[in-house]
Amino acid sequence: MERPEYEFARQDLDFLHWWGVPTLFRCPHVADPRACDIALVGAPHSSGNGTTWRDQHLGPRSMRDVSMAYRRLHLPWQFDPWSACRINDLGDVPIYETLVNDRAVREIEAFYGAIDRAGACPVSIGGDHSISLAILRAIAGPESRHRQPAAVVHFDAHYDTYDDFPNWYGAYDSAGHWASKSVHERHVDATRSVQIGIRGHDVWMDPGKTSRELGYRIVTKDEFDDDLGIDGTVELIRERVGILPVYVSFDLDALDTAIAPAVSNPEPGEEGLTMKEAIRVIQGMRGMNVIGADVVELMPSLDSPNAMTAQNATRIAFELICVIADRLSNIDGAG
């Protein structure tokens, strides 16, 4: 029989990230998505972006470690997401053919199909950006429970609509194609979507051509800095998306390289978003119909000794969880 003082010790030790069995935000590990309002998922996948540094499959494990210390309250909103609804860690997507990108993407899609049928909202830790295509195929579009394409709010230094390449060196459902393929396949309505934080030089003179043709509203980092700012960007998102279901995809290279060095495609030399800017824009989506989110392209093998990129990724994920939990807590029947 356990000694009674162990329970008191556990309560105190829960605040330490290095104590206990690691789960995302120290949430219970529950394999059944029907037991979740928000399903936290690791997507350890890296074969959709294999031409650059490719340890993205280690991202979920790193986040489980770091996020153990971030089961916190949202003080500006005076909100406790963990008690507002059922938030559980489903574990990692079982990807049997993980080195064969296009088959792996279909395996990821099937996993999220079960989440969609269960009525849960997924918040995912990648993994490279090709996981977003798999997730959107499952939770958005005519065959999903929402019965319509979703809007996407896409934070990134890059467009990921590179249709000039029919495939990415053999990967068809790649990290460089997800934002266009999801539109072509009617999972995303680009005319109601926004791409935020685009910066850096490219190998094409007009790399945003496909995004514009599809209907995306592009907010480059220059426009964010010089014109819109936080408030203007939030206003743009809310006006453009309206009441449509919206999915938020956050590529960590949207952040400045100084605070997020461990990403797959860094854009040094031009400042990216600060944490304050990214957080305030996400918080500005409070009350919107956010049906899921992901944080992708974390490369823990390249992170600083204090895991700064993973720590900042954790904060981004926390804010996304709070936006969804806040909405669900105001819907009858949540939890």
Q: Where are the domains of the chain?
A: 35-328
Structure tokens at 59: 């991202």
The stretch 261-276 carries a mean pLDDT of 94
> In sequence order, what DSSP letters do the residues of 241-256 get, joined into one string?
HTTS-EEEEEEGGGB-
Above 90 in pLDDT, residue 202?
A: no
Buried b (16+ CB within 10 A) or exposed e, 283-319: bbbbebbbbbbbbbbbbbeebeeebbbbbbbbbbbbb
What is the pLDDT at residue 219? 98
Distance (Å, rounded) from C-alpha 211 to C-alpha 181? Answer: 11
Q: Which of 25, 253, 220, 218 is nearest to 128 (CA)?
A: 253
| Residue located via tokens 């029919």 | 166
Distance (Å, rounded) from C-alpha 136 to C-alpha 246? Answer: 10
Among the listed ranges 96-105, 186-195, 230-239, which one has the minimum average pLDDT value?
Answer: 96-105
| Residue located via tokens 């019965």 | 147
Above 80 in pLDDT, residue 18?
A: no
Residue 255 φ then ψ, to 5°: -75, 160
What is the pLDDT at residue 332? 55
The proportion of the chain whose per-residue pLDDT surpasses 70, expressed as a percent, equals 95
What is the pLDDT at residue 1? 46
What is the pLDDT at residue 335? 42
Q: Which of 300, 195, 209, 178 is nearest to 248 (CA)?
A: 195
What is the pLDDT at residue 205? 78
pLDDT band at 334 (very low <50, low <70, confident <90, very high): very low
Above 90 in pLDDT, residue 49?
A: no
CATH class of 35-328: alpha beta
Q: How far is CA 4 from CA 7, 8, 20, 333, in A?
A: 6, 8, 18, 36
Nearest-Å Rg of the Cα atoms of the chain is 19
How does the average pLDDT of the chain come out, rounded? 93
The proportion of the chain whose per-residue pLDDT surpasses 90, expressed as a percent, equals 80
What is the pLDDT at residue 13? 74
Above 80 in pLDDT, residue 47?
A: yes
Among the listed ranges 184-188, 265-269, 322-326, which one has the minimum average pLDDT value?
Answer: 265-269
Burial classification of residue 5, based on how many CB atoms lie within 10 Å of its CB (0-12 exposed, 13-18 middle, 19 or more buried): exposed
What is the pLDDT at residue 166? 84
Number of helices (H) and strands (E) in the chain: give both, helices first. Answer: 11, 8
pTM: 0.95
The stretch 269-296 carries a mean pLDDT of 97
Distance (Å, rounded) from C-alpha 311 to C-alpha 69? Answer: 10
Above 50 in pLDDT, residue 236?
A: yes
Are 32 and 115 in contact, with CB atoms under 8 Å apart? no
Distance (Å, rounded) from C-alpha 220 to C-alpha 204? Answer: 16
